[in-house]
Amino acid sequence: MELTLQNRAPEIRRAHEALDQFAAQHSLPLPGLARLHVAVEEHLTNIISYGYRPGQTGTIKILLAIANPNLRVEIADDARPYNPLAAPDVDTSVPLEEKPVGGLGVLLIRKSVDKIEYRREGERNVLVLIKSLGTVG
């Protein structure tokens, strides 16, 4: 399944709907996809909030596929280059009031999926989120 979004926050809802529809078509347990929804939400929010200049129009493409034994979510955007895998780990031992802003979304993405891949293809960032169908719960 392929979905094209504009870089606007209300579009994120469409990504969640597509993921649920894809899961239903493939008889995947919807409650077990909650973590994948978190990862998709965080990444799309980061792209839309930080990837584009104010007022810049952009396109985000999402490709959902079963690559047994995994569910594969590929998110490609035309925002400025950003590799979330290069982001430093967040020190979760620091009290919240002392923690610097940022980084928690990337941590949530990392904790929500089994594998993450990033590449830059021409003018596009491509992030692949892989969730084992055996660990969808």
In the predicted model, what is the mean pLDDT of the chain? 87
pLDDT of residue 29: 72
- Percent residues over pLDDT 90 in the chain: 65
pLDDT of residue 97: 63
Residue 123 scores a pLDDT above 90: yes
Whether 44 and 12 have beta carbons less than 8 Å apart is answered as yes
Whether 71 and 136 have beta carbons less than 8 Å apart is answered as yes
Q: Is the pTM of this model over 0.75?
A: yes
The residues that bridge with 62 in the sheet, in sequence order, are: 3, 75
Q: Is residue 117 very low, low, confident or very high in pLDDT (cuts 50, 70, 90)?
A: very high
Q: Is residue 30 very low, low, confident or very high in pLDDT (cuts 50, 70, 90)?
A: low
CB atoms near residue 15 (< 10 Å): 21
CATH number of 2-135: 3.30.565.10
Q: What is the pLDDT of residues 46-90, one digit of tens each?
A: 999 999 999 999 999 999 999 888 999 999 999 999 999 887 666
| Domain residue spans of the chain | 2-135
Peptide bond into 100 cis (omega under 30): no
